[in-house]
Amino acid sequence: MCRNIKPLYNFEPPASESEVAAAALQFVRKVSGFAKPSQSNQPAFEQAVKEITEATQRLFDSLQTTAPTRDREVEAVKAKERSQKRFSPSR
């Protein structure tokens, strides 16, 4: 999985359309190998992003969970702590 694509499901507030679209864009960039497609590939690239965004939203709409929703701020703090622990110089 691309490290830059973050989990978006089961958060409060729910993922916005722009967050889902940004994740879809990163996915298409990763699998296509294009950070920015050529003009001739642009329509196919944009269509793929659109379809993946729509599929992701359908997935989110159909998923069910009994797990409590996660708080974005709490998860951000946890991620920062993991990063500091991982990248801090060992003594």
pLDDT digits (tens, 9 = 90+) for 4-27: 678 889 988 888 999 999 999 999
**Domain count within the chain:** 1
The whole domain housing 34 covers 12-87
Q: Decide if 4 is inside a domain.
A: no
Q: Decide if 61 is inside a domain.
A: yes
The whole-angstrom separation of Cα 4 and Cα 23 is 8
The whole-angstrom separation of Cα 7 and Cα 91 is 33
Q: Decide if 48 is inside a domain.
A: yes
Q: Decide if 6 is inside a domain.
A: no
- Helix, strand, or coil (residue 40): coil
Q: Decide if 1 is inside a domain.
A: no
- Helix, strand, or coil (residue 2): coil
Q: Decide if 82 is inside a domain.
A: yes
Q: Decide if 67 is inside a domain.
A: yes
The pair of structure tokens assigned to 21 is 């679209």
Distances (CA, A) of 23 to 28, 55, 62, 88: 9, 12, 18, 28
Q: Decide if 18 is inside a domain.
A: yes
Look up the pTM and report it: 0.77
pLDDT in tens, 40-86: 999 999 999 999 999 999 999 999 999 998 988 888 898 889 888 88
